[in-house]
Amino acid sequence: MMIPKTEYIRSGAYLKNVRGRPCLSCRNVGEAHHLNHAMERGTSLKVGDNWVVPLCHKCHMELHHYGDEKTWWDLQGIEPLAWAKENWEKFNGR
């Protein structure tokens, strides 16, 4: 039985598109944040660039220091997976 390979999408153009957008949490200028809980990751691999959302530097560091990404987003009242999916599809003309 073959195990399906997980595809890690890489797109510098898409990362550039996300950078500078308003932070999903505080609306300041954002940088690209990969949603670690979006897909399984291999050793030393980030999730695909299609699972990126804008977070300002302050919120980005706060999230990393918090540690539990899914809970941090829940406390913010934000559904980042939906934003990432919708924005990726718009970027690709779907």
Phi, psi (deg, nearest 5) at residue 60:
-60, -45
Q: What integer pLDDT is reported at residue 5 of this predicted model?
A: 58
Closest residue by Cα to residue 55 from 78, 71, 75: 78
Q: What integer pLDDT is reported at residue 66 of this predicted model?
A: 96
How far apart (Å, rounded) are the C-alpha atoms in residues 92 and 31? 20
Q: What integer pLDDT is reported at residue 41 of this predicted model?
A: 63
Q: What is the pLDDT of residues 10-67, one digit of tens each?
A: 999 999 999 999 999 999 999 999 998 888 766 667 899 999 999 999 999 999 999 8
Q: How confident is the model at residue 7 (pLDDT cuts 50, 70, 90)?
A: confident
Full-model pTM? 0.87
Distances, alpha carbon 8 to alpha carbons 5, 34, 39, in Å: 9, 12, 9
* Structure token pair of residue 40: 């399984």
